[in-house]
Amino acid sequence: MTIGTELTRAQVFAQDGFVVTGSLLSTAEVETYRELYDRFLSGEIESGDKRSDLGSHVPRQGVEENITQIMWPTALYPPLLDMPLHSRALAMAKELIGGDAVFDFDMMIHKPARSGVPTPWHQDAAYWLDLPDKRAVSIWVALDEAVIDNGCMWYIQGSHEQPLRPHYPTSDGKNIQCSCSEDEPGATAVPLQAGEGVAHAGSTLHYSRGNTTGGVRRAYVLNFRSTDMLRLERELGYDVGLTNNIRTVRNAGAVDSDN
């Protein structure tokens, strides 16, 4: 598909390290996903150790997580695999990184109303093994309108072309972060309507502000990489938290050489 008069969506993705996908879910479908999402959040669908707090570096005000992260919703509730989003996101991933793209893992990231905790700046590839073929795409789908004040995604345009930055554990040691800010050249906020998506590459710098609004910000994120690299990743014993949900710096390229 051509965006504007010049570049295709795949070319924008290759150039900027992110691209808006347009609508991936109808209004009715968004409602179905929200209902399912809320069953995860309420605990009706159990998530066990797959559930954690991506904002745990900030003391919690209530019982809910600052930023609820549920890894592998499809493993916890396999019917999700047959719902529309997975096939549409796979088609988008093939368009963006090539026909050999396959599903790697998925996650839910929820910012409760007035939780106010930013997602730390990071590059996903810092969490992952350093694979020879680095093609990877995350498709971040808004289930609520995502705006700056409730935590829409921010990216640094072109950052996927730069070496990975050193990453450090967050102050509580549960997640990782790197040095970056909205003041860097190329910093771009990507507001979305519910049902729309934005795709980013594995090495694109990203973050989101805290949710200071009275509404929730629910996002569903689907990740894809090449068939061969998925096989290699699993052979090397890494399954992105499926058996052992511990997040740390795994990519040698993101380890601070001073440490």
Ligand X SMILES: O=C(O)CCC(=O)C(=O)O
Do residues 137 and 97 lie in contact, with contact meaning Cβ atoms separated by under 8 Å? yes
Length of the chain: 259
Residue with tokens 């070319």: 11
Smallest distance, ligand X to C-beta of residue 124, A: 5
Nearest CB to ligand X, comparing residues 134 and 206: 206
Nearest CB to ligand X, comparing residues 85 and 219: 219
Name residue 26's amino acid: S
Nearest CB to ligand X, comparing residues 7 and 130: 130
Nearest CB to ligand X, comparing residues 97 and 221: 221
Nearest CB to ligand X, comparing residues 66 and 226: 66
Smallest distance, ligand X to C-beta of residue 2, A: 26
Nearest CB to ligand X, comparing residues 192 and 221: 221
Cα 184 to Cα 27: distance, rounded to the nearest angstrom: 35
Three-state SS string over 23-44 comes to ECCCHHHHHHHHHHHHHHHHCC
Smallest distance, ligand X to C-beta of residue 117, A: 10
Smallest distance, ligand X to C-beta of residue 254, A: 14
Task: Tell me which residues touch ligand X (CB under 6 A).
Answer: 109, 119, 124, 138, 140, 151, 206, 208, 219, 221
Interhelix angle 9-16/84-97, rounded to 10 degrees, is: 70
What is the three-class DSSP state of 97?
helix
Smallest distance, ligand X to C-beta of residue 242, A: 17
Q: Which of 52, 151, 145 is nearest to 111 (CA)?
A: 151
Do residues 145 and 202 lie in contact, with contact meaning Cβ atoms separated by under 8 Å? no
**Helices first, then strands: H and E counts in the chain:** 6, 15
Smallest distance, ligand X to C-beta of residue 3, A: 21
